Structure 1
Amino acid sequence: MLSHIKRSLAASSTASLLLVALSSPGLAQSAAPAPRGTTALPEIDVIQPQRTPHPARRPKTQTASRGRRGAATAPPERDVQTAVQTAAQAVAAKHAGFDAARQAIFAPNGASAFDVSHEAIVALPQGANATLDKVLLQAPGVSQDSAASGDLHVRNEHANVQYRINGIALPDGVSGFGQMLDTSLVGRLTLLTGALPAQYGLRSAGVVDITTRTDAFNNSGTVSVYGGSRQTITPSIEYGGTAGTTQYFVSGRYFGTGLDLENPTSAPNAIHDDSQQGKGFAYLSTVIDDSTRLTFIGGASANNYQIPNNPGQTPGFTAFGVSNFDSALLNETQRERNAFGVLALQKSINGFDLQLSAFSRSSTLHFTPDTIGDLVFNGVASDVYRKSVASGIQADGSYRLSDAHTLRGGFQVTAEQSRVTNSSVVLPLDDNGNPMDAPFGVVDSSSKLGWLFSTYLQDEWRVTNTVTLNSGLRFDQMNEYTNANQLSPRISVTWKPFEDTTFHAGYSRNFTPPAQVLAAPTNLALVQNTTQQPAVNASSPVLPERSNVFDIGVTQRLLPGLEVGIDTYYKTARDLLDDGQFGAAYVLSAFNYERAENVGVEFKGSYTNGNLRVYANLALARQIATNVVSNQYLFDPDELAYIANHYIYTDHAQLVTASAGASYRWHDTNFSASMIYGSGLRSGFANIGSLPSYTQVNLGVSHDFYLASPTKPTTVRFDVVNLFDSVYEIRDGSGIGVFAPQYGPRRGFYAGISQKF
């Protein structure tokens, strides 16, 4: 009898260890799609790995003799707990199957992909406290810019980046610098670039595809507080669990600081730069039956900003009897509000996978000037209000026609109601063109209900076991301030001559409409004979961009854990879209260059060995353009004439961009470092000059203490941003669409503590 019990315990222990191994992060994150020709959802067993308690903290267990005294070996509470865990594992397996089917719908064949897992984000300096743009700066070809200019650029493009959550495209919000999405919700972040397949359109410089976390549904959460230099404080909380067949996850974060927008001076601390921000996120997913899942994703943010001041500026006007004003005392502010919601129905049946989604996003921006101060320095004080409410439906599906062919298709319809109001106080001009101290108000307002419609069809053809050809067509129609459409062919080939070698090459024709709020027309007649009257009296409408992208690349696994890659691209564009800040308000205005070229090469490498991860990226790029053909009034006449006859660098074109980092976990301690390098953005008349190069290095260390529980750590972290206190300018106040200088962050020290519960 005793030997039989021992054999049973050994078998049970072996099975438990096998289940834990199968559910480790390295395997659970890479569920394979169902075999071709079927739609059977994969059978996946998922359980939460348990950390082995330290011997000193291991709970006491009953001895064999004590176990024999009772009627049952295990207490009833343990049987209930085991049953609950088994039910949760079954639910997790069903959701994992739907996740794998969804990944098959949105397979990015032929595109260049850069992936970052939640574990890799947490291992970086600042961890999940880092904003999404700081994480993206570690990707190949992503360069840093100021918040006023969009935070970052992908392959030297301005904006033109699409954000998706679980494959669902989020509509554009208004121009601003509030980041609505929080890194705590990211299970895996993928940046897609290059010749994108037909399901990706409208915004094509890069697709930031966020897959929500799958490891957060174990009825537990985390509460944390983090802060440090420049009065920075950011408490946060998150919780996830499973109830019946439903998985849910919620998170919330507050962020307060005395240095949020970039400092216009090189000083460590900015003047008038306080910011208070709050954001929340909710995820709810339930399995209706074996082939149907319903998911809700929602989030909201509320951000208030002071606009930092640049002391020592010289007044140029007299307003309300004031001709002398201290620029350090200006009081400009900006407020942003954003919210979105997505309801997605997923169906998998008879070889067909479908995701049907309804989405809505509301976004507002309100810039409030310092009326007297802005008039004294700029001759105009503009109160800028922008609001956009966009709603629509999106459907994407895939059908495994045979072992060699998979068809994918879908459509998206978006309706956007936007309103743009500029309430300006200006000074009139006398007969000689001199400003008079007689301020009066001018209101320029426009609203529009615009529509976007897109549809696509593509075929993934497995020509051989090593060659896959993906071809498709995409059609986009816009009815906004401008009506236009385009039929766009896409084709790419992927070749794997060897197990560790992958070549890809592709071509895509792209159609990019301008953001509707940025394309709103300006009534120049309202400001004639005032200090806001432009030197160029032309305001042609903003047009959609049409481009051709060619991309070729290869990745090679040299050793276990060591992978390198190279990717080259070439883009030609008509009516290249660009944005710039042409006034004191931290809002952007759009315009087009008639022709443009963008060419570059990217090198990337990564090495992973156990608890060690090292990566490095290097990008060389050049974007040039000529002849401004819309919103010409934004430009100085001499500059406009020069651009009409010369190719110039776009203001966000950076020749060399690099990033690198490493992390290592030793027992319960994680060490990390990251670096970004930029050769400098453009500056000066027609962007002829460039800023000096810079390097910023960050360090981080964290340690897990098991004080409250052997499985729920208390994590303490310490980070240093800009370790060597490098003083560098992101912008110097010159260049096209650059209103003021902005410096990178000075050295800062940050610490935090988080507790699992």
Structure 2
Amino acid sequence: MLAFLLLLPHLAAAQVAEIEDVVVNSTRQTTARESIPASTGASTTTLDRAAIERMPQGSAASLNQILLQAPGVVQEAQGDLHVRGDHRNLQYRINGVTLPEAISGFGQMFDARALRSVSLLTGALPAQFGYRTAGIVDLQLRSGATDPGGSIGIYGGSFGQVQPAAAYGAAIGPFEYFLTGNVLQSQRGFENPTRDRDAINNDTQQIRGLMNLGYQVDDFTRISFIGATNQSRYQVPNVPGQPAQFTAFGQDSFDSAALRARQWQRSSFGVLAVQHSRDTWDLQVAGFARQTSLNYLPDLVGEMVFNGAAAETRKRNLSAGLQADAVWRVAPAHTIRAGLFASRDVTQNISNSTVLPLNGAGVPQDAPFTIQERGRIHGQLYGVYVQDEWRLTERLTANFGARFDAMRQQVDATQLSPRANLVWRVTDSTTFAIGYARYFTPPPSELLTAPALFRYGNTTLAPEVPLASAPRPERTNYFNIGLRQRIGEGLNLGVDGFYRDVKDMQDLGQFGSAYIFSPYNYRVGRVFGMELTASYRQGPWLTYGNLTLSRSEGRGLVSNQYFWSAAELAQVESKFVRTDHDQLITGSAGVSWQGWDGGTLSSTLVYGSGMRRGFANSQSVTPYATINIGVAQEFTLAEGGRWTARLDLLNLTDRSYQLRDGTGIGVGAPQYGLRRGIFAGLSRAL
């Protein structure tokens, strides 16, 4: 692959005369494509390529690490994220096309090498955005026509991390391409379940690749294909010194440090899109497909001795669909947007659960046997929307519309969802926005199961509450109000207030040994909070800071009740409880300085007051703050070639902090954040 990348510049050089026209057309098509989504009224945070490169880790940063610098984003284990009091529920759009989320999440699918910009949209979203609405992660990919060239290099350091990577793009006649690929090996796959610096049995190997291809048919039409894959293998880390709880296979003792469970996570997707832009019209039609899987292989004897059960878990999901979006600038004061979405999912669940039988007194007997389950769940989503961006005056814009959605899943449901936003540019430096959105959020089909609970009766896996009602779609009334103030040339301040009134509030939890989430619904829920933001960009300085206060709580449980204890169900039925991912205070900040020729010094901070723990999520883990610093230097060697060297120090103070302590609703195990690590990288521009 590297040899191929090194040859590509010579192939592209033969087509220099044609590149200028390709760049002009590609830029025009990109501008037209980016005008299709409407963010009017939404709270938007954008990190362009320059801002990403100036962060610690730079191009080696994963997508979830970049998003942690946006307001209201809470870090979770396994690279997951929570935004404004929601659990996951993020919609990922790549060059304007919606992608279904993978079983293992999406935050680690990409690194920054492929990204031109990352935007996070939250609040009362226009009618164009449906289904996953806690936040819209809008990814714009680098293009071979507008961003030719690339790099090849290696990055690594603490915890045995080694990550060679390459990226390259160019244009050849009407054809353009951008390719990235990297291989990661590390001794820190999942979060450490202990406060020690190094975990036992926690190696990972990961392969990621992405291609962005485009062909300019004529001045008005462009065809593109985007494909990506992530193939990951994990060891599952252990907690040493755990006491044995059961006798199985004739063994009543086992060294918990010797457990050797493993997990494989795979995800691939492809998008084929046709874009046509002419006069007052912009249109994009895209077909997409995504396949994702997760396989968990337990340490059979060890898990039986400690847990009384060991479950081999296999889950696979195939999703395919069609999306069409159009913009019609019908008049100077009106821009009409309309579109449709349709997708079909098939989720395959396989589990082989080895359990112990219980005698008449409820005592486990050393006679292990296996319960096998096989099942398929089919799901379909359909949606249409129309909206009008109406410029009432030079300073006042209304964006109103509606979408209609239907789901065919374990539960069938429909909803008409009105949306309305009003944006008032009070002065040239002051903007006020208020909005309302009705949301319809189907359960994540890739995580659904349909367990036969009766088969586990009188075994060590028998649920205390033998009820598994199907997850329901969440229905939300969302209110958002925001104010933006620019001071001088470079300082921008913002404040947002938000409130969600929710029926059948969705949440996710890890309820077994496998690192996989399962959905459930509270009967009602409410989420409210406030967001403060500030940024300054002037000369060599780039600084920003975010502070979010929020509360997320639910009452009553109406689906997948078997995950919970009878005491927890009774508590949640009688009062509102905090959701497991609720964090009262979330903060992030960053500063970078390009104070010398080719050099950048940067630092970022992430603060959390702690997610929930204890019985019915009644307490929180200890607050934490982590600081990262980085320095990067570009230089040119005598024989030619532009190089970049960087040095990053993550968790500067070596703070040992918990994301989870193993208690609370839907919390599978203790999980500690990254201890101090020193990483370095060297790359050469191509």
Report TM bin, short chain.
Answer: over 0.9
| Matching residue of 1:144 | 75
For 1:533, the equivalent position in structure 2 comes to 462
1:294 aligns with 2:223: yes
CA shift, 1:587, in A, is 1.1
Q: CA deviation at 1:739?
A: 1.5
Kept in 1, the 8 Å contact 2:64–2:107? The answer is no
* Greater Rg by CA: 1
1:482 to 408, 411, 419: 411
Residue aligning to 2:646: 717
Tell me what 1:67 maps to: none
1:575 pairs with one of 501, 504, 512: 504
Structure 2 alignment gaps of length 5 or more: 1-10
Aligned residues of 1:141 and 1:602 also touching (Cα < 8 A)? yes
- 1:595 matched to 2:512: no
Q: Deviation string for 1:440-478 (max 9, x for gaps)?
A: 010122102321101101111010011110111101110
Aligned residue type for 1:639: E
Aligned with 1:87: secondary structure?
helix
Of the candidates 519, 542, 551, which is equivalent to residue 471 of structure 2? 542
CA contact (8 A) 2:143 2:176 kept: no
Note the alpha carbon deviations across 1:615-670, whole angstroms, 9 max, x for none.
10000000111111111111111111011001010010000000001111121111
Aligned match of 2:635:
705
**CA contact 1:359–1:393 (8 Å) conserved in 2:** yes
Question: Which secondary structure does the structure 1 equivalent of 2:44 belong to?
Answer: strand
Checking the alignment, whether the CA contact within 8 Å between 1:227 and 1:751 is kept in structure 2 is: yes
Pair 1:97 & 2:28 matched: yes
Instruction: Give runs of aligned pairs for residues 624-639 of structure 1, distance below 5 A.
Output: 624-639=553-568
1:690-744, CA deviations, whole angstroms, 9 ceiling, x for partnerless residues? 111101000000111101666x421111000000111111111111111210111
Structure 1 equivalent of residue 610 of structure 2: 680
The CA distance in 2 between the partners of 1:187 and 1:209, in whole Å, is 11
Of all paired residues, the percent bearing the same amino acid is 43
Work out whether residues 263 and 269 of structure 1, in 8 Å CA contact, stay in contact via their aligned partners in 2: yes
Distance 2:230 2:553 in 1: 36
- What secondary structure is seen at the aligned counterpart in 2 of 1:98? helix
The answer on whether the counterparts of 1:420 and 1:517 sit within 8 Å (CA) in structure 2 is: no
Matched, 1:196 2:132: no
What's the offset of the Cα at 1:554?
1.2
Deviation at 1:178, TM superposition (A): 7.4
1:38-66 Cα distance to aligned partner (Å, 9 max, x none): xxxxxxxxxxxxxxxxxxxxxxxxxxxxx
Deviation digits for residues 372-426 of structure 1, max 9, x if unmatched?
1111111110111110110111000010111111110000110111101111000
Specify the code of the residue in structure 2 equivalent to 1:683: R
Q: Name the residue aligned to 2:343.
A: 414
Q: What is residue 331 of structure 1 aligned with on the other side?
A: 260
SS at 1:386's partner residue?
A: strand
Counterpart secondary structure, 1:197 = coil
Residue number in structure 2 paired with 1:110: 41
- Counterpart CA distance in 2 for 1:514 and 1:730 is 25
Q: Which residue of 1 aligns with 2:54?
A: 123
The separation in 2 between residues aligned to 1:218 and 1:692, in whole angstroms, is: 44
* Amino acid of the structure 1 residue aligned with 2:25: K
Q: 2:169 aligns with which of 240, 261, 267?
A: 240
CA distance in 2, matches of 1:82, 1:640: 67
- Correspondence 1:161 to 2:90: yes
Q: Deviations over 1:349-381 (max 9, x none)?
A: 242110000100010110110111111111110
Structure 1 unaligned blocks of 5 or more: 1-79
- What is the CA deviation profile of residues 321-360 of structure 1, one whole-angstrom value per residue up to 9, with x for unaligned ones? 1110111111111001111000110011242110000100
Amino acid aligned to 1:572: D
Report the equivalent of 1:728.
Answer: 657
Q: 1:126 to 1:514 in 2, by over 3 A?
A: same
Q: Which amino acid aligns with 2:272?
A: L
Q: Higher strand share goes to which structure?
A: 2
Q: 1:371 to 1:527 in 2, by over 3 A?
A: same
State the shift of 1:556 in Å: 0.9
Conservation of the 8 A alpha-carbon contact between 1:176 and 1:336: no
C-alpha contact (below 8 Å) 2:593/2:601 kept by paired residues: yes
One-letter code aligned to 2:59: A
Q: What is aligned with 2:667?
A: 738
SS in 1 for 2:580: coil
CA apart distance, 1:602: 0.5
- Conserved? CA contact 2:189–2:202, under 8 Å: yes
Structure 1 match to 2:620:
690
Pairing 1:404–2:404 present: no
CA distance in 2 between partners of 1:675 and 1:298 (Å): 33
Tell me if the contact between 1:579 and 1:588 (Cα under 8 Å) persists in the aligned partners: yes
Q: By how many angstroms is 1:84 displaced?
A: 5.4
2:100 is aligned to 171
Tell me the distance in 1 between the aligned counterparts of 2:573 and 2:306. 30
Amino acid at match of 2:605: M
Q: Could you tell me whether the CA contact under 8 Å between 2:353 and 2:370 is conserved in 1?
A: yes
SS in 2 for 1:373: helix
Following superposition, the deviation at residue 220 of structure 1 comes to: 2.5
* TM-score, normalised via structure 2 length: 0.96
| Rounded Cα–Cα distance in structure 1 between residues aligned with 2:638 and 2:113 | 23
Q: Does 1:442 align with 2:442?
A: no
2:149 is the counterpart of 1:220: yes
Alpha-carbon distance in structure 1 between the residues aligned to 2:544 and 2:170: 33
> Which residue does 2:3 correspond to in 1?
none
Letter of the structure 1 residue corresponding to residue 300 of structure 2:
T
Equivalent position of 1:384 in the other structure? 313
Contact 1:581 1:587 in 2 (8 A): yes
**Inter-CA distance 485–82: structure 2 relative to 1 (3 Å threshold):** closer
Shift of 1:162: 0.6
Q: 1:129 to 1:82 in 2, by over 3 A?
A: closer
Tell me whether 1:512 sits opposite 2:430 in the alignment.
no
Q: What secondary structure, in the 3-state scheme, does the structure 2 residue paired with 1:630 have?
A: coil
Q: TM-score, normalised by structure 1?
A: 0.88
Q: How far apart are 1:300 and its partner, in Å?
A: 0.7
Instruction: Report matched runs for 1:493-508 at 5 Å.
Output: 493-508=422-437
| SS of match in other structure, 1:97 | helix
- What is the number of equivalent residue pairs in this alignment? 675
- Separation in 1, partners of 2:101, 2:123: 21
Deviation track 1:184-230 (CA, whole Å, cap 9, x = no partner) reads 11101000000000010000000100011247756532101010001
CA contact (8 A) 1:343 1:359 kept: yes
Give the whole-Å Cα distance in 1 for the aligned partners of 2:145 and 2:623: 41
Provide the C-alpha distance between the structure 1 equivalents of 2:380 and 2:240, rounded to a whole number of angstroms.
45
Partner Cα separation in structure 2 for residue 219 and residue 484 of structure 1: 47
Counterpart of 2:358 in structure 1 is 429
Residue pair 1:217, 1:248 contacting (<8 A) in 2 also:
no
1:262-290 CA distance string (max 9 Å, x none): 10111111110000000000011111011
Task: Provide the secondary structure at the position in 1 that maps to 2:378.
Answer: strand
Is residue 669 from structure 1 mapped to residue 599 from structure 2 by the alignment? Answer: yes
Please give the alpha-carbon distance, in whole angstroms, between the structure 2 residues aligned to 1:307 and 1:544.
32
